[in-house]
Homo-oligomer: A and B are copies of this chain.
Amino acid sequence: MATPTKSILITGAGLVGSLLSIYLRRRGYEVSIYERRGDMRKETVEAGRSINLALSDRGIKALQGVGIAEEVLQIAIPMHGRHLHQPDGSHAFQPYGKEGQYINSVSRHELNCKLLDLAEREGVHLHFHQRCDHVNWKKKEVHFAGPNETSTVPFDLLFGADGAYSATRLSHMLQHQKFDYQQYYIDCGYKELSIPAGAAGAFQLEKNALHIWPRGNYMLIALPNLDGSFTGTLFFPFEGETSFERLKTEADVEAFFRQTFPDLVPLVPDLARQFFHNPTSSLVTVKCFPWVRGDHFALIGDAAHAIVPFFGQGMNAGFEDCTVLAELMEQWGDDWEPILAEYQALRKPDGDAIADLAINNFTEMRARTADPKFLLQKKIEAWVHESHPDQWIPAYSQVTFSPHIRYSEALRNSQRQEAIMQEVMKDPDIAENWKREDVKERILAALRG
């Protein structure tokens, strides 16, 4: 293959921008990344607002595509299931899937630094402290504001990988005749609360699990870090009876945590300090269309499809965008118009689907602890899956461990399964009768029908 001459500009040196740049370098393109913030490998970055990441099969597949999965997994910790912390102090463990299926806790910061190192090693040009001011679509150049001066950077092809609040997307939106756009917030925010390592770097909670304290309409989760600490995240309503606005003093916070998360309190000595020091962040979903312009622009990752974190798929979805682009580059070579058109046609429905799946999971999680009928339904589903693992695959497994199933298929399948289960649950005696072969047969027949 002759070296292509296109110069490619990426806005955003986050996870997806960095990985994308490696993919593009491998095909011989000149690639520059312009990032609004500083170089996180050298400068301290804004702390206290990273949700830890759960790297799963779609993300790993994308890393394998450029041969860096093993290197990345060295900084990850396998989590084999959910470790539930109940209000009464009892515990329960729910495996995520079958034996050998797990997701991987990884620090956003460490992963991003690793990807930037790898990108630099591949010859990607990195520029920091460059805020995208606007894009001149006619001249194909981006205007950046630096710390002291502005600059104008021409491009043949521009990728907007600059996240949920993408500045390139805004420029695209404001200068596009018919741009469909939607951003909406859930009524919960989140706050990071760090659980330090114990003596000599000991893990204070079970290491290989994702810890959840489900509490109806809010919850706390914690993911392990390599140094023995856990990154905790409280998902909590902004307003209402139990909410951020009601916890006003350190005494409020301490009383609330002692009552609600009693087993957590001894592990976090500076809980109240952290609570008021760390910012409260909001959770947005973004859907938009179109994602591309001709042969010279595409949105990717959160800039195209920001989602809430309740399915653990934000990064994985963005990485999968790279996998799909790579397959299309393989097919179309240097012909970017069909590459971008097919990328959009394939990924737009999948981006919408994972956004909906993530919102559904948020809604479901709220109901989960309150509704015994829902718990029974999940028990029946698990039982059917166990005996017929290829016919009845739980939505979680389809999304997390089945990268050959598209998100849009997984959504359709899960809706179909839900409809079937709704019928089954109508039986007034289901609580007594469920573990019978005829119930299972009825479910499987409905699935086949």
Copies of the protein in its oligomer: 2
Q: Which of A51-59, A176-184, A260-268 contacts B (4 or more CB under 8 A)?
A: A176-184
- Which B residues are in CB contact (< 8 Å) with A284? 178
Q: How far is the CB of A130 from chain B (nearest CB, A)?
A: 19
**Smallest Cβ-Cβ distance to A178: which chain B residue:** B185
- Which B residues are in CB contact (< 8 Å) with A177? 282
- Which B residues are in CB contact (< 8 Å) with A181? 181-184
- How many angstroms from the CA of A182 to the CA of B170 in the assembled complex? 14
- Which B residues are in CB contact (< 8 Å) with A178? 185, 238, 282, 284
For A184, give its contact among B180, B183, B184 (CB under 8 Å).
Answer: B180
Q: Is the interface of A mostly helix, strand, loop or mixed?
A: strand
Chain A, residues 253-297, CB within 8 Å of chain B (1/0): the string is 000000000000000000000000000001010000000000000
Chain A, residues 81-100, CB within 8 Å of chain B (1/0): the string is 00000000000000000000
Q: How far is the CB of A360 from chain B (nearest CB, A)?
A: 18
- How many angstroms from the CA of A177 to the CA of B185 in the assembled complex? 10
- Check if B185 sits within 8 Å of A184, measured CB to CB: no
- Which B residues are in CB contact (< 8 Å) with A185? 178-180
Q: How far is the CB of A45 from chain B (nearest CB, A)?
A: 20
Knowing that A180-B184, A181-B183 touch, tell me 16 more A-B residue pairs with CB under 8 angstroms.
Answer: A170-B174, A177-B282, A178-B185, A178-B238, A178-B282, A178-B284, A179-B183, A179-B185, A180-B183, A180-B185, A181-B181, A181-B182, A181-B184, A182-B182, A182-B183, A182-B184
